[in-house]
Amino acid sequence: MPIIINLDEVLQQRNMKSKDLAEKIGITTANLSILKTGKAKAVRFSTLAAICEVLDCQPGDILSYDK
């Protein structure tokens, strides 16, 4: 998949744990793990918006495209 999830880096910059983020955006840690490992097939806009709101960042900070 050419879409890369940089969630780990953003979480490290914000000093936040995956478990806390999952709790704040209202998804399970298992689903967050699927997202972080790149196994997810799609991300809902509502989930992306919630992540951006909690981490105070732009979608481009979390997602990147690599050929």
Partner 1 sequence: MLSNNDNLKLMKSIRILYSIINILCFLIGFHIIAALLTIFFGIISLDVDVLRRFATSYQNYTHWVIVVSMLNIGALILFFLGLYDLRFIIKTFLKGSIFSQKASTYFKYAGVFFSLSAIAGICARIIYMITAINSENNSVPELAPRYFSLLLFVLVIGLSFVMISKIMKKSSKIKEENDLTI
Count of residues that interact with partner 1, criterion CB under 8 A: 12
How far, in Å, CA of 22 to CA of 18, rounded?
Answer: 6
How far, in Å, CA of 32 to CA of 21, rounded?
Answer: 9
Nearer Cβ to partner 1 (16/27): 27
Kindly identify the residues of this chain, within the stretch 30-59, that bind partner 1 according to CB under 8 A.
31-32, 34-35, 39-44, 47
Instruction: Confirm if 28 and 46 have CB atoms less than 8 A apart.
Output: no
Our finding on whether 1 is near partner 1 (CB under 8 A) is no
Our finding on whether 26 is near partner 1 (CB under 8 A) is no
How far, in Å, CA of 65 to CA of 1, rounded?
Answer: 9
Binding site for partner 1 (CB under 8 A): 27, 31-32, 34-35, 39-44, 47
